[in-house]
Structure 1
């Protein structure tokens, strides 16, 4: 457990008086147990640890420090655990946190199955699930809950922002290289919908067994197609390996645009600019966007020796605004906090023009980015060119199409 309070050893008579005063203040402000506890459930050692993991824990620490380590005069504590990308492991830990650890909000949840399981428990126990790391649309759609918030991105926004502007620029014909499991299928199907809405067409797709190592045959099929754009509907190491092999086979040398349906700055860093150059994809954050994002990224880098991913910056934003809502509502009761946060403008190092809708989705500006060529980069981590900014109202699914029971 990480705490930003004084240790018990430091408490003398004056300290005990302070505890009494703190308890009284907590009672006055409706803070349960005299402490606000934040649980960070993340992938510490698995395939997504670079995109979330320790970096998301650091982002949480930075948010708590920026808030002063206390809210309404009571201490803020952070507890952390590894969900191992298993819903049963994640559920067991969340249940333990809620029942025994008196955790008020469980956050990050960078796996959709883990997130959905945590959301059910949060509703059962009347706590909050702050989902910053998972992207399933159903989190804030058919499975929405009054006890959950969905903060960073979803497959809808990634597919829409990552295809339609490119179609409108002239890449009308598309071919997909897709991981053959539910997540890959979702990225491909959403992409197909938005490509056709923008006036383009899907020529075909190759689905490979996930995880994979040899993408050569699928890349050759994509090259042989008449496509203007080749989309990679996969993620992590598979994405990096597919891009590397595509480069070796000369993919893109004939003018075909390579597009990733889900890519992060750590994927670009792992590939290097020589292999990742000219890739296009949707992003929800870039460290070099403005002064505020640069200041946050500098502090993050000092502790991690790397720049934050969108998911890590989103975790910072989600925790910071949760604490603001606790302060504003003078309560850590989940109903009070959620009602309050839905009235607040969300504007910080991560979110630009953000707001939390009735379905719990935090909508904000999204970006279509292109990876720079090595000669264009001015220094370490200078990787992206912002091609287009898409407002949250345009990037995320409209409430008029929502299946969320909270939407009147």
Structure 2
């Protein structure tokens, strides 16, 4: 197991009917900016409950944070934070709203050009202050409710933002707030969480037994509850297990002391940016093909994944690995998500655009070992086509 430090300060408030506790969780003197996306949180009554829970505090609202939150939209909220002297941010929504709120928290007190905050990749931002923030999660998927990272869309692509100052102070996770989600968003959430685990688990062995067993437990849970919660949207137990799985997939715990990949995410970001497909859809396309091309590099962990997650124990090593890849693709498809580029109307020649974007964004040495060049990325994309 590799050396690691681990600290996660986010207070999780999990379960039914917890929004009234906002009155105890948010500082009494806070001037709060409540941020959300479209009108769904208003239509389903969540926003009203949030505002009621905030009691008599001064509250300002900011809506319109889009999927794949846009830099220009977020800068409008930054101006509100500054002009209204906002001192607490509350994100009400899914990963995009939470990610956008994290960027706003960093950018509002920042004295330089805010675009500079998008230039640090996975390194910590050079900031010494951020506006305190918290979340009310309405979509189980990204894990942003319990980590310090965000992904922001800018004209130069989808860019990560990371800082320990961006951990939510608390996050309310009420599974009932997700009951009204469209099925496509639930399916996307299952796949997003699933691939988050895979990127930290299917790399190479370092004898991290606790992390491996926890990762396998999350994967098996998602396989079990994913179809159930799609078929039964108000099955509380299934939705609760999905929600906690998504949070646990990216709150840092299973990722300590182990190598990370994230190649599927990096290529997937380009697909989302270029073709507008949902983030999880891009992951479902790339992950099986990446394994097919890279299975020699990941052989040991793919065999472990095959046996421990899919109960595959018969056949040659290659047969077991191939079966695990096929079963992963079939799982994604069973949730109603397509897994081929051709199924989204993308032409074969568009692969060149993706490779060009990867090169432009410096994604020329991907994978847990840093040896996945653009030639290999092209092979993955060609395999993912049909």
TM superposition score category, shorter chain reference: 0.3 to 0.5
Richer in helix (by share): 2
Bigger strand share: 1
TM-score (ref. length: structure 1): 0.31
Structure with greater Cα Rg: 1
